Amino acid sequence: MKVQNLKSRSKSRVLRRTPGGVIRVHYKKLRLYKARCSICGTLLNGVPRDYDVIRMGPKSSKRPERPYGGQICHRCLEMLLKVSIRSTS
Ligand SMILES: [Zn+2]
């Protein structure tokens, strides 16, 4: 990140003490992405919070590689698969 971008006051600043004992300014990102399950609403695992990774990274690192990965959580998927299999037989 460029120094010019850090002059913006839209990023919140946090003072952190480094291992060397020096107090430095750290910059926090304000907007973070939160992917939620569309059925139960819990936060999804394996989905990055950072918008830069979501925009630029490879598709396989943005959500789990399984059916409905990045849409519904593993508990709801388990329940749906059980219901669909039991209803077909
Ligand atoms: Zn769920």
What is the value of pTM for the model shown?
0.63
CA atoms of 16 and 14, how far apart (whole Å): 6
CA–centroid distance, 54 to ligand 1, in Å, is 21
Q: How far is the CA of 53 from the centre of ligand 1 (A)?
A: 23
**Structure token pair of residue 21:** 């004992």
Q: Rounded CA gap, 29 and 19, in Å?
A: 22
* Distance in angstroms (rounded) separating the CA atoms of residues 11 and 71: 29
pLDDT, tens digit (0-9, with 9 covering 90-100), for 40-74: 999 999 998 887 778 887 888 889 999 999 999 99
How long, in residues, is the chain? Answer: 89
